[in-house]
Amino acid sequence: MVDSFVIIVPARLGSTRLPNKPLAMLNGQTVISRVIDLAKSSNAAEIFIATDSVEIQDHAEDCGAEVVMTSSHHISGMDRISEAANIANLPFNIPIVNLQGDEPFMPLEIINSLASFINEDTPISTACIKFKNDMDFNSPHEVKVVRTVSKKAMYFSRSVIPNSFTEDYHNYLKHLGIYAYTNETLQMLSKLKPSANEESEKLEQLRFLDNGFNIFVQDFDCEAPIGIDTPEDLDAATIYASKHD
């Protein structure tokens, strides 16, 4: 069991589908302030917001968060948190949880336990849940994962996997976009070039698999947290927040 871990939250203003997303209002609070509150309520030893935006920096610091300013040229959140980990001078062996800046409802059970699943054989861990009847597993926006019996990821896809030739298959797994790895593993991952599978599916985690990094995928019995990528997601998240605040 891991006794200590760090959370780094990548946040940027330049989302194409929902501009200024971290500062969007969600039932009286900004999205990023809710993520900060969530991170603070976890068991993390330290919490950092990694951003290239002075607006996000000012707001996050007003919310009591420690901010690391990073380059504006990063193409992924992982690259941003890799630079932030270096700037913060984090030890190579410290586990880091990559909590996305648009996931204010990620269950604490997942955040607090994810780092405990990493080891030499599976240096990366992530989470999944079973698809339920009210979830559209045919949607390309819902990322699916297939695992081995030892819970190592075999493949991630926007398509329906595994393909079922019967009508009674109900074990589709939805991937949740949260990761844990040591700083050493993070630095190695950030140096990898995009792979063909990654570019085809637009899923960064396929770069890890294509380069021989095993990913442990732990299943959790919880509701699918609302990630905020579009104005429609923001509307749904606002309704959810108004019922649960």
**Rounded Cα–Cα distance for residues 179 and 114 (Å):** 7
Confidence of residue 164 (pLDDT cuts 50, 70, 90): confident
Percent of the chain with pLDDT over 70: 97
Summary mean pLDDT of the chain: 94
Q: Per-residue pLDDT averaged across 220-233, rounded?
A: 92
Mean pLDDT of the region 143-152: 97
Q: What is the pLDDT of residues 20-50, one digit of tens each?
A: 999 999 999 999 999 999 999 999 999 999 9
Q: What's the half-sphere exposure (Cβ side, CA atoms, 13 Å) at 236?
A: 13
- Of the candidates 102, 140, 145, the one whose C-alpha atom is nearest the C-alpha of residue 127 is 145
For residue 1, pLDDT beyond 50: no
Give the orientation angle of helix 183-190 with respect to helix 77-87, to 10 degrees: 130
| Residue type, position 206, single letter | L
Q: What is the model's pLDDT at position 28?
A: 94
Q: Where are the domains of the chain?
A: 6-223
Q: What is the pLDDT of residues 60-74, one digit of tens each?
A: 999 999 999 999 998
Between CA 168 and CA 133 the distance in angstroms is 13
The answer to whether the CB of 7 falls within 8 A of the CB of 99 is: yes
* Structural contact between residues 125 and 215, judged by C-beta atoms closer than 8 angstroms: yes
**Residue 77 token pair:** 């959140």
What pLDDT, on the 0 to 100 scale, is given for residue 17? Answer: 78
Half-sphere exposure of 11 (CA within 13 A, CB side): 38
Interhelix angle 54-62/31-40, nearest 10 degrees: 50
Question: In this model, does residue 165 exceed pLDDT 60?
Answer: yes
Instruction: List C-alpha distances in Å: 156 to 59, 147, 188, 190.
Output: 35, 9, 21, 19
pLDDT of residue 47: 98
Return the pLDDT at 245. 87
pLDDT of residue 193: 94
Q: Which tokens hold the place of 30?
A: 């900004």
From CA 142, how far away is CA 128, in angstroms rounded?
Answer: 11
- pLDDT tens digits, 106-138: 999 999 999 999 999 999 999 999 998 888 889
pLDDT at 2 over 70: no
The two structure tokens encoding residue 13: 């203003």
Q: What is the CATH number of domain 6-223?
A: 3.90.550.10
With beta carbons less than 8 A apart as the criterion, state whether 142 and 148 touch: no
